[in-house]
């Protein structure tokens, strides 16, 4: 190690161990100064005659001892600190011994407890118990995974307290065994010497641990142990109980107890809050990072949403372009439609087109689902019917069952999911004969024929849906015919109309639809469809849950 490294180590030691060096230095200086003053001014005699300082110190030590015990006892369920719990019960033992010194016990008088024998014996026991406890505390590794039964520690404390009571009561222990005119006896000095060695040993282990961990609680504990050591040094030098060295010993131990209280406060109460504060700061950092990530993802999602909306708008434009902008008519027939999509993209579709001069093709359908997939499926239906119209010059659209068969086969040839389907009704109306030929592709509503007198006839509409069962089933679509007379009206609609529900979950129903038809039948076909749409919107009171589509046909009278 070169000089620079040595200098760096010294400065590091000065910074980390400075409070420990200062404590050691001040304790030594105070001990020398007090004994020097006592030699010239003889203040020991005054202290012996008036032991008020001694009583105040005992009360302070009693309060601190019980405070340390209460901290370790009530924080144990949260910290599981077995070391701190044992230290707490050690201070409880010392606190009870201090209590014996200041309270009147029934078996003894106060005067008995103020005897030099009692005072000195209690001091010796407290120092010795502290020495043993602290050395065990630092030597043995207590595993916090084992929970100590606190009632056992209470029992052990009771035994340790009973022992000095028995010793005090015993006539075998005499005062001259502990102190005489020359000061402490050899027995007392040996007890204090052993206790001092235990404190020095404990101090060595604590400083060694502090060097590797740099915990502030260990630094404070080291300073407290130095004060405890000097308390015993001062006690060894007493000439009589309550003299200046006795008071100095009590002063040292009072300051050491205050430091130990602060050390255990840091370890048991302050430390968890510091850890909680650090965890809170880390959590706030995580939250800040999460907020940034959420903001980034929100921007990305907003962009994706805007793109989706743009794509939906394109799909909606394509879908709306498939719907007829105007419905064809002549002097024999008129058409009117009502259309309310549940979303921007609908799954319903309708169409009316002119096959030739006398025949009109009509179509109403509903596809599975809503949104983009439903819109694409409805566009598929339009395209297939349009291609069939163009390829056959209209002849392929004259037989409804053939049209549905072609659409069924095309649907099964396409790569659609198995859960997708189309339900529809396709019909051809001949204006010369008045016959409506139609076939059902599974449309689950009943077409309504409305007579001029207001009576309503429900037409047959059984049929098979256009779905992905082409490999196992080839359904036969049936052509049906109905003769329509001038003044008759025909209404074809999807299930979104009669299944619409209000806020109380009541169904619109075909019954209410018929009531509206009867009420508005005498008016034009456009007025009828507008009245139905207006009534169902009023009934629902909000955006419908399913698409609503209806197509009405009016057979016009010849005059």
Per DSSP, the residues of 217-238 read HHHHHHHHHHHHHHHHHHHHT-
SS3 of residue 555 by DSSP:
strand
Give the pLDDT confidence score for residue 434 in this predicted structure. Answer: 94
Residue 286 has pLDDT above 60, yes or no: yes
Closest to 207 measured CA to CA, from 9, 28, 21? 21
Can you tell me the mean pLDDT for 372-386?
Answer: 82
Phi (first) and psi of residue 176, to 5 degrees: -70, -15
Place of tokens 């001091």: 123
Q: Look at strands 435-440 and 359-367 and give their pairing.
A: unpaired
Helix axis angle for 216-236 and 3-41, nearest 10°, is 40
**177 vs 4: which has the higher pLDDT:** 177
The better pLDDT of the pair 233, 50 is held by 233
Distances (CA, A) of 386 to 107, 367, 371, 377: 116, 18, 23, 14
Classify domain 16-283 at the CATH class level: mainly alpha
- Asked if residue 104 has pLDDT above 70, the reply is no
CB atoms within 10 A of CB 501: 15
Least confident of 158-162, 346-350, 371-375, 452-456: 371-375
The segment(s) of the chain belonging to CATH 3.60.40.10 are: 324-555
**Better-scored residue on pLDDT, 206 or 15:** 206
Look over the chain and give the mean of its residue pLDDT values, rounded to a whole number: 83
CATH 1.20.1070 location in the chain:
16-283
Pair of tokens at residue 503: 């806020």
Higher pLDDT, 112 or 476: 476
| Distance, CA of 205 to CA of 207 (rounded, Å) | 6
- What CA–CA distance (Å, rounded) separates 143 from 149? 14
CA 365 – CA 443 distance, rounded (Å)? 7
Looking at 3.40.50.720, 3.60.40.10, 1.20.1630.10, 3.90.79.10, the CATH number of the domain 324-555 comes to 3.60.40.10
Would the pLDDT of 546 be above 70?
yes
What does DSSP say about strands 421-430 and 179-180: parallel, antiparallel, or unpaired? unpaired
pLDDT surpasses 50 at 415: yes
Tokens 């260990």 belong to 218
Q: Is 2 exposed, middle or buried (0-12, 13-18, 19+ CB in 10 A)?
A: exposed
Q: Would you state the pLDDT for residue 466?
A: 92
DSSP per-residue letters across 407-440: HHHHHHHS---TT-EEEEEEEEEETTT-EEEEEE
Gyration radius of the chain's alpha carbons:
51
Task: Find, among 533, 199, 92, 106, the residue nearest to 336 by Cα.
Answer: 533
CA distance 551 to 260: 92
In this structure, are residues 424 and 467 in contact, taking their beta carbons and an 8 Å threshold?
no
Closest CA to 520 of 336, 342, 351: 336
Least confident of 111-115, 396-400, 402-406: 111-115
Instruction: Find which of 278-282, 316-320, 455-459, 502-506 is predicted with most confidence, using mean pLDDT.
Output: 455-459
Confidence of residue 320 (pLDDT cuts 50, 70, 90): low
Contacts of residues 504-508 at CB distance under 8 Å and 24 or more positions apart, as own/partner, are 508/536, 508/539, 508/540
Which pLDDT score, from 0 to 100, does residue 527 have? 94
CA gap 109, 531 in Å, rounded: 108
Contact 317, 345 (CB under 8 A): no
For 30-55, write each residue's pLDDT tens digit. Answer: 889 988 888 877 777 777 667 777 77
Count Cβ atoms within 10 A of the Cβ of residue 223 and give its class: 0-12 exposed, 13-18 middle, 19 or more buried.
buried
| Residue 553 DSSP code | E
What is the rounded distance in angstroms from the CA atom of residue 371 to the CA atom of residue 378? 11
Q: What is the structure's pLDDT at 6?
A: 46
Helix (H, G, I), strand (E, B) or coil at 448: strand
When mean pLDDT is compared across 120-124, 384-388, 396-400, 516-520, the lowest value belongs to 120-124
Contact (CB, 8 A) for 47 and 247: yes
pLDDT at position 535 over 90: yes
Separation CA 542–CA 309 (nearest Å): 22
The structure tokens listed for 556 are 């016009």
Whether 400 and 479 have beta carbons less than 8 Å apart is answered as yes
- pTM metric for this prediction: 0.51
φ/ψ of residue 207, rounded to 5: -65, -40
Q: 457: which strand partners?
A: 449
């Amino acid at each position: 190690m070169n000089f620079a490294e040595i200098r760096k180590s010294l400065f590091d030691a000065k910074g980390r161990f400075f409070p420990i060096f200062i404590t050691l230095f001040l304790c030594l200086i105070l001990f020398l100064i007090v004994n020097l003053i006592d030699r010239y001014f003889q203040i020991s005699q005054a202290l012996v005659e008036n032991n008020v300082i001694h009583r105040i110190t005992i009360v302070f030590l009693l309060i601190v001892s019980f405070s340390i015990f209460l901290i370790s006892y009530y924080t144990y369920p949260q910290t599981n600190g077995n070391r701190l719990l044992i230290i707490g019960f050690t201070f409880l033992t010392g606190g009870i011994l201090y209590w014996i010194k200041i309270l009147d016990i029934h078996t003894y008088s106060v005067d008995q407890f103020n005897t030099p024998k009692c005072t000195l014996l209690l001091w010796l026991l407290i120092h010795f118990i502290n020495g043993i406890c602290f050395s065990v505390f630092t030597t043995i590794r207590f595993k916090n995974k084992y929970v100590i039964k606190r009632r056992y520690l209470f029992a052990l404390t009771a035994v340790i307290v009973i022992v000095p009571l028995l010793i005090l009561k015993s006539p075998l222990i005499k005062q001259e065994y502990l102190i005489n005119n020359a000061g402490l006896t050899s027995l007392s000095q040996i007890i204090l010497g052993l206790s001092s060695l235990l404190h020095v040993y404990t101090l060595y282990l604590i400083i060694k641990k502090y060097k590797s961990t740099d915990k502030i609680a260990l630094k404070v504990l080291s300073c407290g142990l130095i004060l405890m050591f000097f308390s015993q040094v001062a006690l060894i030098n007493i000439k009589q109980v309550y003299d200046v060295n006795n008071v100095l010993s009590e002063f040292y131990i009072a300051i050491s107890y205050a430091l130990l209280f602060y050390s255990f406060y840091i370890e048991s109460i302050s430390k968890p809050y510091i850890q909680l504060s650090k965890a809170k700061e880390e959590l706030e950092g995580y939250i800040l990072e999460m907020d940034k990530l959420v903001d980034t993802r929100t921007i990305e999602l907003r962009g994706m949403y805007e793109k989706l909306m743009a794509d939906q708008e394109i799909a909606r434009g394509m879908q709306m372009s498939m719907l007829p902008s105007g419905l064809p008519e002549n002097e024999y027939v008129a058409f009117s439609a009502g259309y309310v999509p549940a979303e921007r993209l609908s799954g319903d579709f309708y169409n009316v087109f002119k096959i030739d001069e006398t025949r009109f093709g009509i179509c109403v359908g509903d596809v599975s689902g809503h949104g983009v997939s439903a819109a694409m499926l409805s566009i598929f239906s339009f395209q297939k019917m349009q291609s069939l119209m163009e390829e056959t010059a209209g002849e392929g659209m004259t037989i409804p069952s053939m049209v549905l068969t072609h659409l069924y086969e095309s649907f099964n040839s396409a790569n659609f999911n198995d859960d997708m389907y189309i339900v529809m009704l396709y019909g051809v109306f001949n204006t010369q004969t008045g016959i409506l030929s139609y076939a059902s592709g599974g449309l689950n509503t009943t077409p309504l024929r409305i007579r001029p007198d207001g009576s309503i006839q429900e037409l047959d509409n059984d049929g098979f849906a256009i779905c992905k069962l082409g490999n196992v089933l080839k359904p036969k679509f049936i052509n049906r015919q109905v003769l329509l007379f001038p003044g008759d009206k025909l209404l074809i609609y999807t299930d979104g109309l009669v299944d619409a529900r209000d806020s109380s979950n009541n169904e619109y129903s075909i019954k209410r639809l018929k009531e509206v038809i009867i009420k508005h039948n005498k008016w034009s076909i456009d007025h009828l469809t507008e009245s139905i749409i207006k009534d169902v919107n009023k009934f629902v009171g909000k955006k419908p849950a399913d698409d609503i589509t209806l197509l009405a046909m009016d057979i016009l009278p010849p005059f």
